[in-house]
Chains A and B, each alone.
Chain A
Amino acid sequence: EVQLVESGGGLVQPGRSLRLSCAASGFTFDDYAMHWVRQVPGRGLEWVSGISWDSYEALFGDSVKGRFTISRDNAKNSLYLQLNSLTTEDTAIYYCAKGYAVRPGNSRPIDFWGQGTLVTVSS
């Protein structure tokens, strides 16, 4: 059974940084691209970032480009998202999600999602 467990969310002040982690199990982690998708409570889904199986390709949504960094450690079956220069607009639930393909830049689906971790940016 695929399991994705996020951690690292919390309350952070504007301008500060935060690092989210995702522990994956139940599948061969280094065979698939991984993604981060966020959702403001009560609002729609917004894709944040995706990374290829080998970390060679990393893609970002326009709203986070230059501020967020995605990385993975295949030896630890873990995915990370470094959030820098946070603003109140970044307040959302952040979902770790598994891609169907090896690379993130295509229309293959996101086929499994974690339960999410809430990031609140407020002074």
Chain B
Amino acid sequence: QSVLTQPPSVSAAPGQTVTISCSGSSSNIGHNYVSWYQQLPGTAPKLLIYDNDRRPSGIPDRFSGSKSGTSATLGITGLQTGDEADYYCGTWDSSLSAVVFGGGTKLTVL
């Protein structure tokens, strides 16, 4: 049971837009920055979004992040087959004194 809650799966057609939610509480998302990670099949996770809505160098602007209260959202526009991956949200939990992750969302591009 993950501290952060994500939908297990989402799907959409190429070219479409998808959003992935991440729900937490006041001890984690509510008072801390959220990051998002992309894990392509058979590879290590890669940082996609940090500080709620910032993109590291090299990440296309098709990927965006937002946060409101105790929830965060990852948005992906112009879906490509290469975006098929597992996506994880992560943040610091001040009560647990631990880094916490969501359970992951598998994106399928139909």
Contact = CB atoms under 8 A, between A and B. Distances in A.
A45 interface: yes
Interface stretch (A15-23, A72-80, A84-92, A100-108): A100-108
Contacts of B110: none
B96 A110 contact: no
Given A105-B92, A108-B33, A47 B44 contact: no
Interface residues of A, number: 25
Contact of A95 (B32, B33, B44, B103): B44
Contacts of A116: 44
A109 interface: yes
B56 A111 contact: yes
A115 B92 contact: no
Interface of B: 2, 32-35, 37, 43-47, 50-51, 56, 88, 90-92, 96-104
5 contacts: A44-B101, A45-B101, A106-B92, A107-B35, A110-B35
